[in-house]
Amino acid sequence: MAFGRRSPGSSRHPPALTIVTALLFAFLSSAAAAASSSTDAMHNNNWAVLVCTSRFWFNYRHMANTLSLYRTVKRLGIPDERIILMLADDMACNPRNSYPAQVFNNENHQLNLYGDNVEVDYRGYEVTVENFLRVLTGRHESAVPRSKRLLSDEGSHILLYMTGHGGDEFLKFQDSEELQSHDLADAVKQMKEKHRFKELLIMVDTCQAATLFSQLQSPGVLAIGSSMKGENSYSHHLDSDIGVSVVDRFTYYTLAFFEKLNMYSNASLNSLFTSYNPSMLMSTAYYRMDLYERPLNEVPVTNFFGSVMKTLHTDSAYTGFLAAHDYETPLSVGDNLDDHFMLKDRATPRRSNIEKEAQLTPHGWTEVLLEQLEGKNTDTVVMYGLGAMGILLALSTWLSM
Amino acid sequence: MAEIAGDEAPTPPPPPPISGEVSRDPYTSTPASTGSNKPPLRTTKPGVKRLILTASVLLSFLVGLPFLLKSTEIHRSPLPSDAITALAHRLHSTPPSFPCGLHAVFLRSVPDRSDASLTRRLEQSISAQLHLLPATSTAGNVSVSVTVESAGGCSSSSSNVGSGWQCGTVTSADLVIGDEVFDELLHSALGSGRWDGSMVYTVVVVETDDAEGMRVVVGKHRHAWVVGKADEVKAVSVIGKVFAKYFMNGGIEEGEAGIGKGEFMPVGSDGNVVLSFSLLNADPSDWVYDWDFEKIGERMLNPVVEALRPIVEINIESQVLYHTPKSSFSYFDDKLGGNVLSMGDIPFFVNSNEWHLDTSISATGRSKVLQFVVYIPSARECPLYLQLPDGGLSKTNAFISPMWGGVLIWNPPDCSLGSKRTHGTWKKMSSQELTETLEIFIGQLRQLFGLKPSYLSQDMDVPTKFVVSEKGFTEWELDLLYRHHACSNLLSCLTTLESLSSLVCSLPRMIVMDEIGRQVELSLEAANLAQGNATLGISDSSAGNICNKSQGIG
């Protein structure tokens, strides 16, 4: 059983910086007291930011980790428009992939993670520390499209999942740069100041993962890492067919927990966090909850991993609006609007013909014929009709000769 | 000179002549030296010349030092931190609130001698009544004035909150013309309901010999009227309740979900909102519906867009989608004759995997998108009804999700036929159905902004009627929205400026560009202006959008 200890709390700041940050927090707390709307905000949407920071074929498992979590989060209800997926390399179309366009997280190859509806927002070399921090803080160039922005508000719960190679207080991006723990803490502080989240859950699956969130100070943040300082995180198993390890242990056991759930279930975060077994993980899954007010056994996992929509019934329409708004064009069912239809691209000639046809009032024998046509065997009726026409034609030709 | 034994010891220069004006060249005065190149060492102490040289160099360096420091200084545009702190202090001590006025007019049929004491008494009792009722956060002081008009004369209370009421323009005989027309008559009599920039709300008490009891009608401008036989105490309590409950709070009780909470102001940080209307065909193999949104919908929504312009800039888009099943389960109920969805299934109704609603091109990164969805069920699940917790069916089949938008389930008319005749045909929603749908959308838009969709199910002890506005919102509701929006904007603006100023102060070596300094000053000016206007009660300025700039910096 993994045990959750309180954060070590050891400050590595020099004293002067401590004083400055203390003053800053005095300021911020007074500012926060004024703008009390942030604490009153209702939870009304969930976001997920899933980041894979390693490239190269031998880091296949990090991509599979991220895609597995993407699939889980989508299955539990978070839509693509609220997921930011950052993949540093393309394993599915890698020339060394003997299963092209397929990514697996298990050697039984039962689940293709790259199957359908995978929307990658930041791909390849776009996954940099700068872009990651921009996504978190929301400072983009004005031309950046909405699908690449984290458009959360003060009622959002955000799940931030990071996987790759990491170390003591850093996470390596693309084998060329690093994200340090104080950068992450700074970004989270900015997010909190700008009311970009109500609650934040950080999951990190790297070596010495717990050091990455050791500098966090903002309230409302919950963090779990796959290993503590000095420990490595290990991969789960090697797929001899593909030739590399396909999933990490922490993510594997996380997925095993979620495969049993669906979007209606209310398993608590506490059950997730206590489900990690250090002997199976070969590392200690460490979580810090000192910045989080709610007790973990009362928080359902769908608060972060699933979708939630608070709904209110609309009792009545704004009746009388129609009467108050007098408009002069008469209500028509479709005739004179057909012209407009013709002008627009959407209208097809077939449709307008059908409309016109629907208005033909059938008389007498046409009624009988239509009934026959829409009845049982249209084919035989048509055959009979053609046959009769053929006979009539032959008859008239013979008569005219 | 012992240490240079071996060298030809240069003879020491002869002592300078006593006249001292010409110093004899040591080389020429020592013919004994054979071409020595070394300058002879001086024997005298360095004099004033060296001192002057050294001092001048040092002085020039000291003089030039400030220029050196200035040229290598980090460019920091000065931020008005003191002014920001002063503004913060002002806003914390007196939270922003808009003072309003309440003007009560009594039209008496009894030819009573109306005098100043009566008006003063009424004014005091109304003020006392208002103090008893719960106060709103955004409304400041309310100044009360009373006018009593009767056959004998017309007298106003001494307070200056006159709303331009001229005695004799409206009498109780005008009530027969109908509520809407009477509303317009009062509007023309009262003017726009402003006095010195702040809002004045008028309640007219018309005394008639109506045996049915009192009746209250709330108009669509800034006034309401009470009709009936009234004793003073009842009239005063009704006036107080109408003012506090509706004009100040929009009909939302304490603790109810509505305006005043942060999640009911769906405005993007650049002041834009995109209303995205989507028609969803769940299974096109059954039937395909289309609608004429451009003509009918946009025309009906134009007045609403215009009415909300001071608060938010609205863009409207519409689309039709196909193959969009829902993701929650409905079951067939024999008694009710259709498929039902309970309220517990509603949060899972929106199938985000298949409903690609967020396709707006015009929505920029910082604007907010509200989705309004019409869901047409497939033949299998049709007709689809929403079942309320009490077991009854919903009349509107619609629900909203705050800050996201609203959904309406529309059962097509040939749903109950159950035949396969309509296999895959293209149909269009008729104008009548579309306009009915739009009425529900207007109700949902009102709900998203924190108001009630309509006041049909209100329970007040006196029968109350609300005049419906063609703009979707009455003027007093717009005032309410404006006040809340301006107050929350002002507070968030202040928070951003404060945190920016503290951040800059805490990082002494951070570059601050001129542009930032300019933006901060503009924001601060706008914030001060807004705060000043709020104290005076003026709500016509563009203070609602001041925070765009500061959000841009932040």
| pLDDT band for position A283 (cuts 50, 70, 90) | very high
Which chain A residue's Cα is nearest to B428? A334
Q: Which residues make Cβ contacts (< 8 Å) with residue B53, sequence separation at least 6? A: none
Give Cα A203 distance to the centre of its chain.
16
Mean pLDDT of chain B: 79
Which stretches within A233-284 are classed as H helix? 249-259, 269-273, 278-281
Which stretches within A236-315 are classed as H helix? 249-259, 269-273, 278-281, 302-305
Residue ranges per structural domain of chain B: 98-252+457-468, 272-449, 481-548
| Interface membership of A78 toward B (CB under 8 Å) | yes
Report the CATH number at residue A133. 3.40.50.1460
| pLDDT at residue A223 is higher than 70 | yes
Is residue A165 flagged as an active site residue? yes
pLDDT at A345 (0 to 100) = 37
Is residue A207 flagged as an active site residue? yes
Chain A residues in contact with B404 by the CB 8 A cut-off are 44-45, 309
Which chain B residue's Cα is nearest to A149? B365
Q: Is A21 inside a domain boundary?
A: no
- Partner-chain residue, chosen from B343, B347, B421, that has the shortest CB–CB distance to A308: B347
Whether the complex's predicted ipTM is more than 0.85 is answered with no
B75-91 pLDDT per residue, tens = 888 888 888 888 888 88
B261 vs A42: CB contact, 8 Å cut-off?
yes
For chain A, how many structural domains are there in total? 1
Chain B residues in contact with A264 by the CB 8 A cut-off are 348
Q: Is A17 inside a domain boundary?
A: no
Distance between CA atoms of residues B368 and B275, nearest Å: 9
Which among A354, A342, A355, A348 is positioned nearest to B430, based on CA atoms? A355
* More confident site: A109 or B547: A109
- Partner-chain residue, chosen from B303, B431, B470, that has the shortest CB–CB distance to A332: B431
Q: Is A353 inside a domain boundary?
A: no
Task: Please report how the helices B514-536 and B81-93 are oriented relative to each other, as an axis angle in degrees rounded to 10.
Answer: 30
Q: Is B86 helix (H, G, I), strand (E, B) or coil?
A: helix
Q: Is B176 helix (H, G, I), strand (E, B) or coil?
A: helix
Q: Is B217 helix (H, G, I), strand (E, B) or coil?
A: strand
Residue range A112-141: average pLDDT?
93
pLDDT at B216 (0 to 100) = 86
Q: Is B400 helix (H, G, I), strand (E, B) or coil?
A: strand
Residue A188 burial by Cβ neighbours in a 10 Å radius (0-12, 13-18, 19+): buried
A312 vs B401: CB contact, 8 Å cut-off?
yes
| pLDDT at residue A166 is higher than 90 | yes
A334-366 pLDDT per residue, tens = 344 444 444 343 334 444 444 444 444 445 566
Q: Is A174 inside a domain boundary?
A: yes
- Partner-chain residue, chosen from A77, A323, A334, that has the shortest CB–CB distance to B428: A334
Name the percent of chain A lying above pLDDT 70.
76
pLDDT at B133 (0 to 100) = 76
Q: Measured between CA atoms, how close is A220 to chain B, in angstroms?
A: 18
B443 vs A117: CB contact, 8 Å cut-off?
no
Structure token digits, residue B68: 């050196």
Provide the residue range defining the domain that includes A267.
Answer: 46-305
B299 vs A327: CB contact, 8 Å cut-off?
yes
Residue ranges of chain B whose pLDDT lies below 50 = 1-10, 12, 16-17, 19-24, 26-33, 544
Structure token digits, residue A20: 């400055």
- Partner-chain residue, chosen from B365, B399, B403, that has the shortest CB–CB distance to A313: B399
Q: Is A396 inside a domain boundary?
A: no
Its sign, for the CA torsion A258, A264, A268, A271, is negative
Distance between CA atoms of residues A288 and A171, nearest Å: 18
Structure token digits, residue B47: 């004099």
* More confident site: A343 or A123: A123
B263 vs A142: CB contact, 8 Å cut-off?
no
Q: Is A113 inside a domain boundary?
A: yes
Q: Is A232 inside a domain boundary?
A: yes
Mean pLDDT of chain A: 81
